[in-house]
Structure 1
Amino acid sequence: MDWTRDGSDWPNREHSRFVRHRPHYWHIQEAGVGPVVLLLHGTGGASHSWRDVFPILARHYHVVALDLPGQGFTRMGARQRCGLDSMSQDIAALLDGEGLLPDAIVGHSAGAALALRLVRDLKRPPKAIVGINAAVENFKGMAGWLFPMMARMMALNPFSASEISRWLGNATGVEYMIAGIGSHISPEGLALYRRLVADRNHTDATLAMVAQWTLDGLWHDLPGIEVPTLLLVGETDRAVPPASSARAAARLPRTEIVRMPGLGHLAHEEAPEDVTALISAFLTAHLG
């Protein structure tokens, strides 16, 4: 993604800035005053995913949203550092360098896994974590080996990212993808995802992330994470089964789980005011 070309109408662009912190060149959005709340998007997304949540939370908190390495407007500086542990370490180093140690972390999908892993890597753990359709459990059965294997094969093929971008960037590719994860979002949201997936570098970084991602270590560590955690579960999510969140909640010592009827994987984009109200109530209870 090119900021000159693609950033002129990017959501909340007035709060964007860029930071070079090895190994990546990061795109960060930052606004508001108060306890620091970090927003982490999911695989294949970007800061636009928080376009409606970000300004609501910024009324009461110092909100920080970033693009993961190679996705959105963050330039990837080391392809081998796209796995969960490496990404968490690099984000922790970035936040420390910027003086932005989070008091709370809100993560969507894979971003929730990062939020929980950051408990180990930050200089001090957050006081609260919110996971929206948290992807903290490896796929079961055939999907457990098929999807990662496909991603590894595609990541090794220099043409695959271009081919996927071409397919998803057409008139119906994104609509098909979003409907496939059980969500219905606005035309604006669809256009932003179409812009993202049409970019070869963004797609290539997404493939690299999936190929390097493993959750075995985090799953093993969940019982030792004492941070109060809220798991928000979209009941029509087809990407992360609601039962997965229930199993994660059973392993986390201090967890609340809230089911959201009629919402899918992108629940915070489908009903941003309702989802943000749930987030805000939890943050108020734990941050004041």
Structure 2
Amino acid sequence: MSDRPDWEIEGRDWPNRATSRFITVDDLRWHVQVSGTGPVVLLLHGAGAATHSWRGVMPLLAEQFTVVAPDLPGHGFTAMPSGHSLSLPAMARRTASLMAALELRPALVVGHSAGAAIALQMALDGRSAGAAIVAINGALQPFAGAVAPLFQGLAMGLFVNPLAVRMFAAAARDRSRVARMIRGTGSSIDETGIDLYARLLRKPGHVAGTLGMMGSWDLRALRRSLPQLKAGLTLVVGDRDTAVPPSVATEVRLSLAAARIVTLPGLGHLAHEERPDLVSAVISDVAHAAPATGAPA
């Protein structure tokens, strides 16, 4: 049995499966979903998730836009990069290479949680051609002070320990644990969503991708660079988010006078899964206000 999620097993009834394709870019085989026509909106999920995270948002946006949603490296049905390179700059570079291979240029990049950090890194590195950014409960705050290297070291230590990764995956066989973990983010999602997260978290390869990303990232450099951001930034905040406190968006807003905050009352960290209609409406409004682009690169 493979450590990675299998498309014919875990992906047998994957949300929006008809829009899925597999493409190899450089040395990495990606799973990506593409749907709709019009300006391009790129959706980047958070740590531990995959394209299923956008299952409700994608069909709504596809009525007006070309929507591109990949599984990030090491997550879901996208392979682990060679050398296990999961740093933030590497993830941003690979995501930009994927879009180039698809010959699509985003008008808007939407990132949830850790996906928001990738969106910002792409913009700061000049890899997203000035596309506007929507950060949904963006994980943009590094752990403070002395605990930062401790947290990173713990995550990386778990990542390189196959036994620890398998123990994490084995724990996810208890669906109630996965449900409690999701509730712990301040969100209440449907039973299908819980089942899909459990399906992925039972695979050691997916868990390794999540831990490897957490252990490789240092958000302090990203935060120091934020005042240089030229792209428009909208910070969407669920006021019940317990994973990324709403205060993080407020702190980011202090670094960027042009950024704006949109608060969604009663929603948690997985706001886009709880109310895809509300989040899609915000994304649509920002996309329509962005410069007309997103045609083939």
Same fold (TM over 0.5): yes
Which amino acid is the alignment partner of residue 97 of structure 1?
A
Identity, % of aligned positions: 43
Which amino acid is the alignment partner of residue 231 of structure 1?
L
Instruction: Give the corresponding residue for 1:270.
Output: 274
1:22 aligned onto 2:47 = no
Alignment of structure 1 residues 179-198 onto 2, 5 Å: 179-198=183-202
Post-superposition offset of 1:125: 2.2
| Higher alpha-carbon deviation: 218-227 or 136-145 | 136-145
Post-superposition offset of 1:168: 2.2
Post-superposition offset of 1:144: 2.8
Which amino acid is the alignment partner of residue 96 of structure 1?
A
Tell me the TM-score normalised to structure 2 length: 0.93
Which amino acid is the alignment partner of residue 229 of structure 2?
I
SS at match of 2:141: coil
- Contact kept? 1:92, 1:122, Cα under 8 Å: no
Instruction: Give the corresponding residue for 1:218.
Output: 222
Tell me the TM-score normalised to structure 1 length: 0.96
- Contact kept? 1:155, 1:161, Cα under 8 Å: yes
Within 2, Cα distance between the matches of 1:79 and 1:183? 35
Instruction: Give the corresponding residue for 2:154.
Output: 150
Structure 1 residues 41 and 123, CA, compared in 2 at 3 Å: closer, same or farther? closer
Larger relative contact order, structure 1 or 2 (CA cutoff 8 Å, min sep 6)? 2
Within 2, Cα distance between the matches of 1:215 and 1:163? 28
1:166 aligned onto 2:153 = no
Within 2, Cα distance between the matches of 1:123 and 1:192? 31
Which amino acid is the alignment partner of residue 25 of structure 2?
H
SS at match of 1:282: helix
SS at match of 2:162: coil
Instruction: Give the corresponding residue for 2:112.
Output: 108
- Contact kept? 1:79, 1:208, Cα under 8 Å: no
- The superposition leaves residues 137-184 of structure 1 with CA deviations (integer Å, 9 ceiling, x where unpaired) of 202356534432221121121111110011123131111110111111
Within 2, Cα distance between the matches of 1:287 and 1:186? 35
Instruction: Give the corresponding residue for 2:7.
Output: 3
Instruction: Give the corresponding residue for 1:261.
Output: 265
Instruction: Give the corresponding residue for 1:251.
Output: 255
- Contact kept? 1:105, 1:126, Cα under 8 Å: no
- Contact kept? 1:226, 1:252, Cα under 8 Å: no
Structure 1 residues 234 and 141, CA, compared in 2 at 3 Å: closer, same or farther? farther
Structure 1 residues 79 and 178, CA, compared in 2 at 3 Å: closer, same or farther? farther
Structure 1 residues 61 and 122, CA, compared in 2 at 3 Å: closer, same or farther? farther
| Higher alpha-carbon deviation: 222-231 or 117-126 | 117-126
Within 2, Cα distance between the matches of 1:123 and 1:142? 32
Within 2, Cα distance between the matches of 1:79 and 1:106? 27
Instruction: Give the corresponding residue for 1:61.
Output: 65
The match for 2:53 among 49, 55, 78 is: 49
SS at match of 2:135: strand
1:83 aligned onto 2:90 = no
Within 2, Cα distance between the matches of 1:14 and 1:153? 38
| Higher alpha-carbon deviation: 101-110 or 278-287 | 278-287
- Contact kept? 2:96, 2:128, Cα under 8 Å: no
Post-superposition offset of 1:283: 1.4
SS at match of 1:42: coil
Instruction: Give the corresponding residue for 1:131.
Output: 135
Within 2, Cα distance between the matches of 1:94 and 1:206? 20
CA RMSD of aligned residues (A): 1.5
Aligned length: 288
